[in-house]
Amino acid sequence: MIGFVVLNGIIVVLTYDDLSIRKTAIQSTTEHGRNNAFQAANTVDGNITTCMRTQPIGAGTHVPHKTMWWKMDLGGVYNIYRVNILFRNYEGNELRQRSRFAGFSLYISNSGNTSNLDNTSLCYKDGPQLPPLNFTTTCITTGQYVIFYNERLDGDTYPAGYEVNNNVFMELCEVQVYGFVRPDVYGSYFNEPCPSNCRYNICHIQKGVCSDCEPGWTGIACDTECNNGWPGQECKHQCSGHCVRNGTCNHVTGQCDSGCAAGWNGPLCFRGL
């Protein structure tokens, strides 16, 4: 994928990598079909004529499934820039298809947990207008898993035009995730190194700020040591307070590097003698 930015009046062409081709994909349910016709892998095979399809969701007692999800594992944590989804179209039934897909959510996360999706990993929420069948959104973030989710819940009210009760199939033909394969650089020419204490050595693909820090560090560039007494990941682990001569523990490991005060032992000086 090619993108453009303007620097000092000069148009710079940026080429983003396809992070998704032939990666692993799974889905919550699969509609019955011959020769695995509707499997999740169809979305990452580079062929827009093959599509996945879940079993239908819908409100009402006659439809057993109320939610669906599809998930891709990129195989590692990457800098992501844009996601493109090509939905299945049937000639003469474009509006019906758009009404089926309407209201979907797109998540990008590091955990891949589909049972506890939250706004911290939300990339895009569709609605109330019906989505196009060739959908693209810019989503500048980092992550390993891309999750497509939709629902039709009993008792909920949906915008006009949404298909709610009958045969709400999810059919994705191709999902393309664009970003940068090399994780440790950013900038207009992808030649600026990320700050050294960014977790996973990954930073914002354009701004260079860290989304998370290595243990013992904080700040948008992860260049500030954790405050005395609160080391570790996100500076949330409290020191024992039992370091020799009332010393502070290591801001990364939480250990008392100079040893424990009398009456205490162990690497963190938590165990009494």
pLDDT digits (tens, 9 = 90+) for 91-121: 999 999 999 999 999 999 998 999 888 887 8
| Topology adopted by domain 2-180 | Jelly Rolls (2.60.120)
Strands (E), 169-243: 172-180, 185-186, 192-193, 217-218, 224-225
Lowest pLDDT segment from 43-47, 68-72, 224-228 = 224-228
Whole-number Å distance between alpha carbons of 210 and 220: 6
Residue 6: pLDDT above 60?
Answer: no
Residue 13: pLDDT above 70?
Answer: no
pLDDT of 11 reads: 44
Nearest to 228 by CA among 241, 215, 219: 241
Percent residues over pLDDT 90 in the chain: 72
pLDDT of 267 reads: 87
Bridge partners of residue 225, in order along the sequence: 217
Nearest to 214 by CA among 228, 227, 226, 229: 226
Bridge partners of residue 264, in order along the sequence: 272
Whole-number Å distance between alpha carbons of 21 and 44: 5
User: What does the domain layout of the chain look like in residue ranges?
Assistant: 2-180, 184-225, 227-273
pTM: predicted TM-score of the whole model, two decimal places: 0.80
Written as six digits, the tokens of 65 are 């499934």
Beta carbons of 53 and 100 less than 8 angstroms apart? no
